[in-house]
Structure 1
Amino acid sequence: MQTLHATSPEEHAAALAAHPHLLVDYWKDDCPGCAMLDLSLRRFAAEPAAKGLVLLKVKLEDLGEEFFRGLGLRQTPTLSLYRDGREVARLPGFQSPAQVAAAVAKVS
């Protein structure tokens, strides 16, 4: 699984347009759940379900609360799955590698 980082709304939009199978991790500093989710995503990356999927990391401190609120995000961490630029699933809070794999399989 390839990992990208968006530090602007334009980079976020470009990633959505460029990658048909995208998993977006919306996170922030000083968030224990975000740190745990990062470990979970590292484990998930080694699973077969991660093949062909791109992970986009989007940090609240880089894009701002207004951007996050504009997406309807209420908490960090939140994972969103996108297919062809359209959000197809949203997973708020910590997710285990198995939960991430199940969500990816459900929308594939």
Structure 2
Amino acid sequence: MGVQVISSYDQYKQAISSDKVVVIDFWATWCGPCKMISPIFEKISETPAGQSIGFYKVDVDEQSQIAQEVGIRAMPTFIFFKNGEKVETIVGADPSKLQAAINKFAA
């Protein structure tokens, strides 16, 4: 399915309220580590994990209301949600931690 860009607060609320696990990449255009891990996040979304997990991106500068609500303090931050609840948070551009969390929820 690939990575979908969240461009409104309503779209964000709809995405996280799913009973399917979703992971959101909170990033910024000026963030170097975000640019480094973004292609990896995209690639993972195209694996079989992308069938069982929803992959989304939020630009924290464009969607400051969402970033504030979830308490983003560093980029990139990957937050996993299920039924509207945070179930996991990964801060930083660490491909192995990200892959491990995705594997856990895709299983």
Query: Number of residue pairs matched?
Result: 106
19-28 vs 45-54, which deviates more? Answer: 45-54
**1:3-55 superposed Cα distances (whole Å, 9 cap, x missing partner):** 21111211110111246220100011111111111022133234444432111
Unmatched 5+ residue regions in structure 2?
A: none
The answer (yes or no) to whether the contact 1:81–1:89 under 8 Å persists in 2 is yes
Shift of 1:62: 1.5
Unmatched 5+ residue regions in structure 1?
A: none
Runs of 4+ in structure 1 over 4 Å off: none
TM-score, scaled to structure 2 = 0.83
CA distance in 1, matches of 2:45, 2:56: 13
TM-score, scaled to structure 1 = 0.82
- Three-state SS of the structure 2 residue aligned to 1:61 is coil
CA distance in 2, matches of 1:52, 1:106: 11
Q: Over aligned residue pairs, what C-alpha RMSD do you find?
A: 2.0
CA distance in 1, matches of 2:99, 2:48: 9
The answer (yes or no) to whether the contact 1:8–1:62 under 8 Å persists in 2 is no
